[in-house]
Chain A
Amino acid sequence: MTSVLEVKNLKTYFFTEQGIIKAVDDVSFSVPKGATLGLVGESGCGKSVTAMSITRLVSAPGRIVGGEVLLNGCDLLSKSDKEMRQVRGAQIAMIFQEPMTALNPVFEVGFQIAEAVLAHEKVSKREAWSRAVEAMKAVSIPDPEKRAKDYPHRLSGGMRQRIMIAMALVCHPALVIADEPTTALDVTIQAQIIELLDKLREEYHLSLILISHDLGVVAEVAETVAVMYAGKIVEIGRAIDIFHNPKHPYTEGLLRSVPRLGSSVQKKDRLEVIEGMVPDLLRLPDGCSFAPRCYKRTVECTLSPIPLEHVSENHEVRCIHA
């Protein structure tokens, strides 16, 4: 399978007064055409900075200090800022968590979608508008001709997120990055958006990176899952392997600590927990970053950095006890 996106040894560091924060530290993965990669982890693990680095939107004091980001074989990190502007929106599109802040409140939503077309393609305003309406239809917005003339505040959260998706798709990008696309939405609306993403994936053969802290959402959408912890990928593999046969103690702990629907069949009083908290990225321990919280910890874990190694063909784990 050809990869739409290949990220190789990506490093994004933040140079702060207190020291260097390795927000993304040697991250590699690829997204095949038509596939969905789920990027999971807790706040501060570097999943959003990874997305920002792919689109080159990291701002000071952060800087991409190494690695390659290949979009259809072409290195994005060597492009000029001007060239990058042509890539964003046209070849890579982003969907953000909070659709209200991502939309401009003083313009009609149809105009904002059409603007994306006008920025990247030589088309008339009228054609751009009809493309916008078409995109709104594709994301199942009822009565798109009329809705296109609405301002963002007139729309509900779910509708706004549909607008964001329409805006992302209108130029037929090679890759869509969705950063917590359903986190701000209610469950029943979240279900609508997940259904929609699924439908669009099939129709448009979308290649998608889905960033989420919600293991349920990732399980429903992604075929491949990468789990991040303290700036590094600690486990990556097919979703089925990650969820059914997790090898890294952190992945294991995460999956065990979420309360599951249907738990009242056999009432358990306590949830299993991962002790302690996420380490300060300025003072990462030597060796494995997860070691201080890990139940499998041994002396070897703390001596030197742990490499990401294959445990089976499509399953890599950063743990010497895996």
Chain B
Amino acid sequence: MPDGAEPLLRVRNLKKYFPIRRGLLSHIAGHVKAVDDISFDINKGETFGLVGESGCGKTTAGRAILRLIEPDAGTVRFDSIDLLQLRKQELRRKRRDMQIIFQDPYASLNPRMTIRTIVGEPFAIHRLAAGLEREHRVADLLKTVGLDPVMMNRYPHEFSGGQRQRIGIARALALKPKLVVADEPVSALDVSIQAQIINLLADLQQQFGLTYLFISHAIPVIEHISTRIGVMYLGELVEVGTSAQICLAPKHPYTQALLSAVPIPDPAAKKQRIVLHGDVPTPINPPSGCRFHTRCPIAVERCKTEEPPLRQIEDGRDVSCHLV
């Protein structure tokens, strides 16, 4: 990226707390700190991978960025506009440029609509094409994602998981977005189909100059597809860096443990696994100081009281750990 050029997406101090309501008057008894002060940039044309275990806030982060759920604090600058300041009308117009692909290709397609209606709906909503023109565009989109346009009149249940995911991708591409948030797009698919979809996403990125925010718990998938990676733990980013920095030389003890836990499809591979003890603590009352200190193999006294900031340790690489 040339110096001074603004990244396509700039997220700063994003927060999303979900209130926990209790009792007769449903007073607020606490908050689930799903996303707690995260900041990162995504440059145009790159894929930013957001990785972490269930409950770490990666999905909430993706949705809060698109304002599919309203964030509580922070700024999200997309294409030089602060999304969080937009009024509903303006936001809707801006949404053309940002689309999402969901994990579950069964739940994310309306079973009562034909593929023609599903993929054509973005054109209807934004009043961009109707009639025969819409039909042509839908046919083109289906071809782009590797489906035969003659299947246009079929319903979602007539397709396999992989094909449905292709339909979801066609719908996301309909309005030629700049940013696509892909939330676990291949997790529900079989291995052989997973590879097809990953390749399709890579091809489309080339073809249309797309920028991806790719959310997944599958580390090898994230490594393969991402330019840069952010690792989340309990609502916070603990490490950000290039794909090679994170996966070949992880610095944060959580990233190290996470990588070492990935099973390797080779019976002869030497395993030097760091097995973390205990479970992920609840994000309702996250541990004091460094949130990872309760499971960290190298934690010291300071980690229990003092929260480590995410700081740059080398060019393009941020880590939040006192001991790095």
Contact = CB atoms under 8 A, between A and B. Distances in A.
Interface of A: 42-43, 156, 158-159, 186-192, 194-195, 213-220, 222, 239-240, 243-244, 253-255, 257-265, 268-275, 277-278
Contact of A213 (B190, B224, B280): B190
B263 A220 contact: yes
B263 A264 contact: no
A269 to B, nearest CB: 6
Nearest to A194: B263
A219 B269 contact: yes
B261 A259 contact: no
Contacts of B192: 42, 253-254, 257, 273-274, 277-278
Given A259-B224, A261-B247, A270-B202, A216 B279 contact: no
Contacts, number: 143
A272 B196 CA distance: 8
Contacts of B217: 186-187
Interface string B246-265: 01100000000111111111
19 contacts: A42-B191, A186-B53, A186-B217, A188-B258, A189-B53, A191-B260, A192-B275, A215-B191, A220-B264, A257-B194, A258-B265, A259-B223, A261-B220, A262-B247, A263-B220, A264-B247, A271-B199, A275-B196, A277-B193
A257 B191 contact: yes
A258 B259 CA distance: 16
B49 to A, nearest CB: 11
Contact of B267 (A159, A219, A257, A271): A219
A265 B244 contact: yes
A251 B199 CA distance: 20
Question: From DSSP, what is the main secondary structure of chain A's interface residues?
Answer: helix
A257 B261 CA distance: 20
B195 A257 contact: yes
Interface of B: 53-54, 160, 162-163, 190-196, 198-199, 202, 217, 219-221, 223-225, 242-244, 247-248, 257-269, 271, 273, 275-277, 279-280
Contacts of A42: 190-193
A219 B271 CA distance: 11
A270 B205 CA distance: 12
Which of B242, B262, B276 is packed against the most chain A CB atoms within 10 Å? B262
Q: Give 4 nearest A-B pairs by CB, closest first.
A: A216-B263, A257-B195, A191-B261, A259-B224
B220 A260 contact: yes
Contacts of B248: 262, 264-265
A108 to B, nearest CB: 20
B273 A187 contact: no
A200 B220 CA distance: 28
A187 B219 contact: yes
Given A253-B192, A259-B220, A259-B224, A215 B261 contact: no
A261 B53 contact: no
B195 A264 contact: no
Contact of B195 (A218, A239, A261, A271): A271
B201 to A, nearest CB: 11
A255 B87 CA distance: 49
Nearest to B243: A264
B191 A189 contact: no
Contact of A214 (B221, B225, B263): B263
Given A191-B273, A195-B275, A219 B263 contact: yes
Contact of A269 (B160, B162, B202): B202
Nearest to A255: B265
Contacts of A277: 160, 162-163, 192-193
Contacts of A192: 275-277
B268 A244 contact: yes
A195 B273 contact: yes
A192 B278 CA distance: 9
B191 A254 contact: yes
B195 A216 contact: no
Nearest to A242: B267
Nearest to A189: B279
A192 B160 CA distance: 34
A277 B29 CA distance: 50
A265 B243 CA distance: 9
Given A186-B53, A187-B217, A219-B264, A258 B190 contact: no
B195 A258 contact: yes
